[in-house]
Amino acid sequence: MRVIRLFEIILAYIFMLAFAVFLVAGVFNKWFFFAAAAALACYFILNVWRLHCPWCGGPVELSALFRGLKKGCHCPSCGHEITVVVKVGRRGGNNKRKN
């Protein structure tokens, strides 16, 4: 499925916020720098695996993906529309089995 979930975008923002908080806390205690490095590594892993264009694999800005929920979001590399969804699953209809 060629979509990006809103959960992944929010998770990326949480990793960035955790990185900033741990970086500031690292000024007072050097052990928080390790937590900041872990948060940054988690953000980069999420960015490489999930937050890219599903069509060409090109990079897309995180703010553009977040705006893509209300408006359209297009890949800067290939120009395809990137769909940002809240929940991935079946679209409407009856989920009962028909015999």
Q: Which tens digit of pLDDT belongs to each residue from 33-64?
A: 999 999 999 999 999 898 888 888 888 888 88
What is the chain's mean pLDDT, rounded? 85
State the pLDDT confidence band at 95, using cuts at 50, 70 and 90.
very low
* Six-digit token string for 81: 């529309």
Kind of pairing between the strands at 81-85 and 73-74 = antiparallel
Q: Is 90 exceeded by the pLDDT of residue 30?
A: yes
Mean pLDDT for 4-21 is 94
Write down the pLDDT at residue 63.
Answer: 87
Nearest in space to 84 (alpha carbons), one of 54, 44, 45, 47: 54
Write down the pLDDT at residue 91.
Answer: 55
What is the distance between the alpha carbons of residues 41 and 55, in angstroms, rounded to a whole number?
A: 25
Query: How crowded is residue 13: how many other Cβ atoms within 10 Å of its Cβ?
Result: 13
Query: How crowded is residue 9: how many other Cβ atoms within 10 Å of its Cβ?
Result: 20
Q: What angle do CA 20, 24, 28 make, to 5 degrees?
A: 155
Q: Is 60 exceeded by the pLDDT of residue 21?
A: yes
Write down the pLDDT at residue 38.
Answer: 97
Cβ neighbors of 68 (< 8 A, separation 6 or more) are: 4, 82, 83, 84
Write down the pLDDT at residue 94.
Answer: 46
